[in-house]
A and B are shown apart, each in its own frame.
Chain A
Amino acid sequence: RKEVEQDPGPFNVPEGATVAFNCTYSNSASQSFFWYRQDCRKEPKLLMSVYSSGNEDGRFTAQLNRASQYISLLIRDSKLSDSATYLCVVLSGGYNKLIFGAGTRLAVHP
């Protein structure tokens, strides 16, 4: 079983749509969780951290359910510029080892 699992997609949505990505992780001792965004042939960039209380940044909302070991990302009012691969990431251990899921590809069309 992979440590971090995501639906690979692709998700093809029209502009203005709401889209949700899900992710599960296997290590119940994991403490920190993130969503990264990666554009085609570019480096990953931190989109947002994920907290147990949930957090929101503009059109983006992240949720964490520790009991179910489940992380989600909701994007409202999708823009063409949101087209990218979204990577679910878990921080492992006592040092900076980021464990990435394989990513979910999003394509927003006019």
Chain B
Amino acid sequence: ETGVTQSPTHLIKTRGQQVTLRCSSQSGHNTVSWYQQALGQGPQFIFQYYREEENGRGNFPPRFSGLQFPNYSSELNVNALELDDSALYLCASSLKREGYEQYFGPGTRLTVT
């Protein structure tokens, strides 16, 4: 086990609703990255948080937003859900901003109907 936890495990929402996903990083890790994995695809980078600030963003619209807290846990918020947002959402923590060893949590499977 990586020590990275995510909640909830599964979630079903309807189009137009808002959702918040949560991630607790591995102890001592100050960097959290979020990825979206659609069925049959590799994970796609959403954004990264380092010491409570966004440190990089992938090609996702502004309705995808996030937070990192002083204890380095993080939230991913998605507004105005669309059917294509149905995916596995993964968070990964790492010891430092530029280190490459990222440890993934088990993910949250979001279904939008």
Contacts and interface: CB of A to CB of B under 8 A. Distances in A.
Interface of A: 4, 32, 34, 41-46, 49, 87, 89, 91, 93-103
B98 A94 contact: yes
A98 B102 CA distance: 9
Contact of B42 (A43, A49, A96, A103): A103
Given A95-B50, A103-B41, 17 more contacts: A34-B100, A41-B88, A44-B43, A44-B104, A46-B102, A89-B42, A96-B31, A96-B33, A96-B56, A96-B102, A97-B58, A98-B100, A99-B45, A100-B43, A100-B44, A102-B40, A103-B42
B64 to A, nearest CB: 15
Nearest to B45: A97
Interface string B56-100: 101000000000000000000000000000001010101001111
A32 B104 CA distance: 18
B78 to A, nearest CB: 19
Contact of B56 (A4, A45, A97, A99): A97
Interface residues of B, number: 30
A38 to B, nearest CB: 9
Interface string B29-56: 0010101000011111100101000011
Contacts of A32: 100
Interface of B: 2, 31, 33, 35, 40-45, 48, 50, 55-56, 58, 88, 90, 92, 94, 97-102, 104-107, 109
Given A94-B98, A96-B31, A98-B33, A87 B106 contact: no
Contacts of A4: 42
Contact of B104 (A34, A43, A93, A103): A43
A45 B97 CA distance: 19
Contacts of B109: 41
Contact of A98 (B43, B55, B107): B43
A41 B107 CA distance: 9
